[in-house]
Structure 1
Amino acid sequence: MTDKPMLILIAGPYRSGTGGDPEAMAANLTRLEAAAWPVFAAGHLPVIGEWIALPVLRSAGAGPTDPLADQVLYPAADRLLAHCDAVLRLPGESAGADQDVATARRRGLPVYHDVAELPPLAREGAA
């Protein structure tokens, strides 16, 4: 049980296995975002690295398949993890998500593999 909401990075496949296909990447982002509501409903605050990285790339005139992407996607997640309390690792092969997990573990952050594993939020008046 935790006394304050946790900022939880949702990590999973985004570009991996897509061959750069924009529709496949969009489908992967939709799968990542599908975990946002359960994390929020559990009393925590979900965040996805692409929510930060993709606008940064667009502002640089680039996209997720441009050479600049590797200089933004992974570093954005690393910087974001400096503020996160935990990682929720979704299924699927992903070098970036595996890197997020490794970074979290190095920093002593918990890594969960299912929303049901998240610690419940202590509510006022709860025993």
Structure 2
Amino acid sequence: MPKTSLMILVAGPYRSGTNDDPHLIEANVKAMTDTALELYTMGHLPVLGEWFALPLIEAAGSKETGDEIFNRIFHPVAIQLIDHCDAVLRIGGPSSGADEMVKTGREKGKRIFMSKDEIPTLS
């Protein structure tokens, strides 16, 4: 068990099952953000790839979810972010992107959690 906090990437559905409906995407982001807050209160430093990717996507001039700019930045940023994390927490329902984050985390030797209950509370 760690005695110091872990930086944990929260990986869950973003577009999956939404048909790119902004309200459903927003609900997915809220679920990840709520989980991040829980991890923070447990004493860890949570991150979402969306926190890094979405402002870059906007600055790069993306016009809509799934366009060339979006696709060039969205998952690659999260994959790169895993290099700086200690662990990946997979939440939510089906998502090829979230599954890719778990696979990448495993390949990079990161701890993989499939439930918040697996993560120790430090505070």
Please classify the TM superposition score into its range, dividing by the shorter chain length: over 0.9
Structure of higher CA gyration radius: 1
Q: What's the counterpart of residue 42 of structure 2?
A: 42
Give the secondary structure class of the aligned counterpart of 2:68.
coil
TM-score, length-scaled by structure 2: 0.93
Shift of 1:120: 3.7
Q: 1:42 offset after TM fit, Å?
A: 1.2
Deviation at 1:101, TM superposition (A): 0.3
**1: CA distance, partners of 2:102 / 2:53:** 18
Which runs of at least 4 in structure 1 moved beyond 3 Å after TM superposition?
Answer: none
* Structure 1 counterpart of 2:8: 8
Alignment length (residue pairs): 122
Q: Any residues of structure 2 matched to 1:1-127 within 5 Å, and which? A: 1-62=1-62, 63-121=64-122
Unaligned ranges ≥5, structure 1: none
3-state SS, counterpart of residue 93 of structure 1: coil
Structure 2 gap ranges (5+): none
Partner deviation per Cα, 1:31-72 (whole Å, 9 max, x = no partner): 111101110111100000101100000101214332221111
Task: Quote the offset at 1:3 in angstroms.
Answer: 2.2
Q: Return the TM-score normalized by structure 1.
A: 0.90
Among the aligned pairs, what percent are the same residue? Answer: 43
- Please state whether the residue corresponding to 1:68 is helix, strand or coil: helix
Give the whole-Å Cα distance in 2 for the aligned partners of 1:73 and 1:95.
Answer: 13
SS at 2:5 equivalent: coil
